[in-house]
Structure 1
Amino acid sequence: MKKTFLKTVACLALCASAFAHAENYPSKTITMIVPFSAGGPTDTVARLVAQSMSTSLKQTVIVENVGGAGGTIGAARVAKAAPDGYTIFLHHIGMSTAPTLYRKLSYNAITDFEPIGLVTDVPMTFIARSNFPAKDFKELLAYVKANKDKVTYANAGVGSASHLCGMLFMTAIDTELTTVPYKGTGPAMNDLLGGQVDFMCDQTTNTTSQIKSGKVKAYAVTTKKRVPSLPELPTMSEAGLPGFEIAVWHGLYAPKGTPKQAIDSLATALQTALKDATVKQRFADLGTEPVAQDQATPEALRAHLKSEIAKWAPIIKKAGVYAD
C-alpha cells in the first residue's frame, strides 16, 4: 500500500511539473532546423519567419542549418529530437517527395512529426546563363530539343526543388537532358552565372535578384498567374507549355508528441509572423507571399502534406528517379 501511495504521489508530482512546464512555454531559446545550407531559398524563408516569431513568443528562435541528402538528414534529426517544443523544423515540398524518392528513410513524414502550419508557396522561374542563345521560352524549348545531348540542366541535388522542376520539365517535353546535380542552390547558381551550365529552374527567393540585375536570362514563371515582382515574365502556359505548374510550398513542423499547448503557441506565432508587414514586404520582394491565415494551421498542413505525397508518388515512380 505504501509503495502504491508513493508511486501515486510521484506521478502527480511529475504531471504537475509537466503541466507547469507547458504553461510556461516557451521558457528558453527555440531552434528552427532548416535541412539545407545557409543562404538558400528555404533558409531565407526560415530566417524571416524565425525573426518575427521570436518577437511574438518573447524567446529567441535561432535557425540551424542541417543540410544533406535532399533535406532528409535534417528531417531525421528533428524526428528524433525531444518533443518539448524547443526544436522545430521548416521544410519545403521535399517533405512530400522524399517518401517516394528515397528507398530508405529513417523517419515517416506523416507519423513522426506534428504539423504547425503552412508558410508560403514560392513560384519558380526558368533561367539560363546570360549568353544562352534562346531569346524567349519558345526558342528555349526548340533549342533544348535540338541540342538535348549538349544542353546541361543544373539542380541543387536529388530531392531539391530545382531537381523536381527539372524532372517535371523533361517529362512534359518528353526529352531527357544532361543534368548536373550540385550540393545546394548556391553552387548551382554560381556555375550558371559563370556559364559552366546552361539553365535551371529555381525558386524566386533565389533568382529574383539575379534576374533583376540582368546576370541571368529569365524565360517564365511556373505559376498560374504572373508574379507581381517579375511582371514581364510569362507563365509557362503563356510561354508555350500549357498546364505546367509547380510552386514550392513550405511547412513548419515539430517532433511527434510535442505538447498541444506548444503547437498552439507556435501556430499562433507563425500566423502573427505571416501578418507582419516586414515579412510580407520581404516575401513580396522575393516573388512570393504568405499563405492565407487558415492555411497556417496544423490541420491545413497535415491535409496538404498527405495530398502532396499522393500527388508526387506516381510522378516520381514514372520517372524512375530514386536515391539511396
Structure 2
Amino acid sequence: MENSMKGKKLLTLGIAITWIFSSVVYSIAPANAAWKPSGPITLVIPYGAGGSTDIIGRLLAKSMETYFHVPVVVENVAGGNGAVGAQRVYNAKPDGLTIAMLSGSIQTIIPPTTAIGFDPFNMSYIASTHESVAARFVSKKSGFKTIQDVIAAGKTRFLIDVTSGGYGLPDLGTALLSKKNGGIKYRALATAGGAESVLRLLSGDADMGQNSASTTVAHIKTGDLIPVLIESASWPLLEEMGIPKSKDLYGYSISNPSAVVGPPGLPALVRLEIQKAIKAALDDPTIKANMEKTFEMVRFKTGPQAKGIAVAARNGYLPVLRSVGKVLKK
C-alpha cells in the first residue's frame, strides 16, 4: 500500500514537472523560434504555365505547404522574359509572403541590355533548385534535319525564331549562332514561355527556337520536335542521341541558373527559414525525383551560392553581348 502511494506521488510529481517544463518552453518559444509565415505564401513564376520553372515551382510549393502549414499559391505572371513577375516581387513587402522563382535571362542578360527599372541582384536570394538545360529545336514540318540545314536556310531567307519576349538567353543563343556562322537572317517571335514556344514550332508558326527539357521531351520522343544543337554545357539525353554541342562546333554555351528570391530587405531569419524549407523539399527523394522528370539539372544551392552563380554568368555574358552588338544600358 505504502509503495503504491509513493508510486502515485511520483507519477503526480512527474506530470507536474512535465507540465511546468512544457509551460516554460511554450512561454519562451516565440522569442527563440524560427520564422513562421503569418498567412498564405505566393510563389510567383514569371513565365507561362507548363515550362520547367513552372513545374518545379509547383512541386516546391506543395512541399512548402507541408513545411509551413500554410497555403502556398503559385501565380504565373508572364511578360518581359521574367521582368514583369520579378518586378511584382521586387516591389512586394519583405515579409516572406511573396517570393519568386527566376530563371537565367532575368538574372543575367536582361538587366544590362533592357531598361526594366530594377536590378534582380538587389533582391534577396534565398536558394536555387535547378539549372535548366537548353537546346535548339526545329519541327518535323520544317524539313530541317541538322543545325547545318538551319544555317543554310538562314542564308537565303528570314527564319522565325521563337523567344520568351524581351532579350533573353534564347535571343543570345540565336545571335551567337548567327555571328559564329557569318550571319543568318532571322526575326524573333515573342511568346509567354517554353510551352507556347513549343506550340508555335509544332504549328509551323516558327522555324526554330531554343528551349529546355520539360516542354520538349515528349515531342522529341514522337519525332515531332527535332533537336539540332545542344546550347547548354550538357544535356545527357540529347548527347546520347548524338546531337552536337554549340561549345564544340561554335565555341559558345548558355548557362541558365534558377533562383528563388524575395524582395530587397528580406530579414535573414525569414530568408534562412525559407531556404530550409527548399532544402527539405530537395532532400525528399520523391519530390526530387518528380523535379528530375523535367530533365533539368536539379540540385540545391544556398542563396549566396545561387547569387554567385548568377553573377558569374552575367559577368561572362557582358563581353559576349558586346561582341554581338547588343547595346548595354548604363
TM-score, structure 1 normalization: 0.82
CA–CA distance in 2 between the matches of 1:56 and 1:35? 23
Return the offset for 1:159.
3.0
SS at match of 1:205: coil
2:149 paired with 1:180: no
CA–CA distance in 1 between the matches of 2:34 and 2:294? 37
5 Å-filtered alignment, 1:1-324, equals 23-94=34-105, 95-102=107-114, 104-111=115-122, 113-141=123-151, 143-147=152-156, 149-185=157-193, 186-228=195-237, 231-237=240-246, 241-291=249-299, 293=300, 296-321=301-326
**Between Structure 1 and Structure 2, whose CA radius of gyration is higher?**
2
Percent identity, please. Answer: 22
Return the offset for 1:229.
7.4
Contact 2:127–2:302 (8 Å) recurs in 1: yes
CA–CA distance in 1 between the matches of 2:234 and 2:263? 35
SS at match of 2:258: strand
Stretch moving more, 280-289 or 64-73: 280-289
CA–CA distance in 2 between the matches of 1:49 and 1:262? 17
SS at match of 2:259: strand
Stretch moving more, 79-88 or 132-141: 132-141
CA–CA distance in 1 between the matches of 2:191 and 2:235? 30
Contact 2:257–2:309 (8 Å) recurs in 1: no
CA–CA distance in 2 between the matches of 1:106 and 1:184? 21
Using a 3 Å threshold, how does the CA distance of structure 1 residues 164 and 270 change in structure 2: closer, same or farther? farther
CA–CA distance in 2 between the matches of 1:80 and 1:20? 29
Contact 1:220–1:233 (8 Å) recurs in 2: no
CA–CA distance in 2 between the matches of 1:89 and 1:175? 37
CA–CA distance in 2 between the matches of 1:303 and 1:24? 25
Return the offset for 1:73.
1.6
Return the offset for 1:318.
3.2
One-letter amino acid matched to 1:307: A
Contact 1:229–1:285 (8 Å) recurs in 2: no
Using a 3 Å threshold, how does the CA distance of structure 1 residues 255 and 208 change in structure 2: closer, same or farther? same
Using a 3 Å threshold, how does the CA distance of structure 1 residues 23 and 283 change in structure 2: closer, same or farther? closer
One-letter amino acid matched to 1:151: L
SS at match of 2:216: helix
SS at match of 1:110: helix
Name stretches of at least 5 consecutive residues in structure 2 with no aligned partner: 1-29
SS at match of 2:177: helix
Using a 3 Å threshold, how does the CA distance of structure 1 residues 212 and 97 change in structure 2: closer, same or farther? same
Q: Please give the root-mean-square deviation of Cα atoms over the aligned residues, in Å.
A: 2.6
Contact 1:99–1:309 (8 Å) recurs in 2: no
CA–CA distance in 2 between the matches of 1:174 and 1:241? 14
Corresponding residue of 2:26? none
Return the offset for 1:304.
1.8
SS at match of 2:117: coil
One-letter amino acid matched to 2:217: T
Contact 1:226–1:234 (8 Å) recurs in 2: no
Q: How many residues align?
A: 298
Stretch moving more, 225-234 or 168-177: 225-234
SS at match of 2:120: coil
CA–CA distance in 2 between the matches of 1:159 and 1:184? 13
Contact 2:214–2:295 (8 Å) recurs in 1: yes
CA–CA distance in 1 between the matches of 2:243 and 2:138? 15
CA–CA distance in 1 between the matches of 2:75 and 2:319? 33
Return the offset for 1:53.
2.3
Return the offset for 1:153.
2.0
SS at match of 2:36: coil
One-letter amino acid matched to 1:99: P
SS at match of 1:181: strand
Contact 1:118–1:252 (8 Å) recurs in 2: yes
One-letter amino acid matched to 1:88: I
Return the offset for 1:270.
1.2
SS at match of 1:73: helix
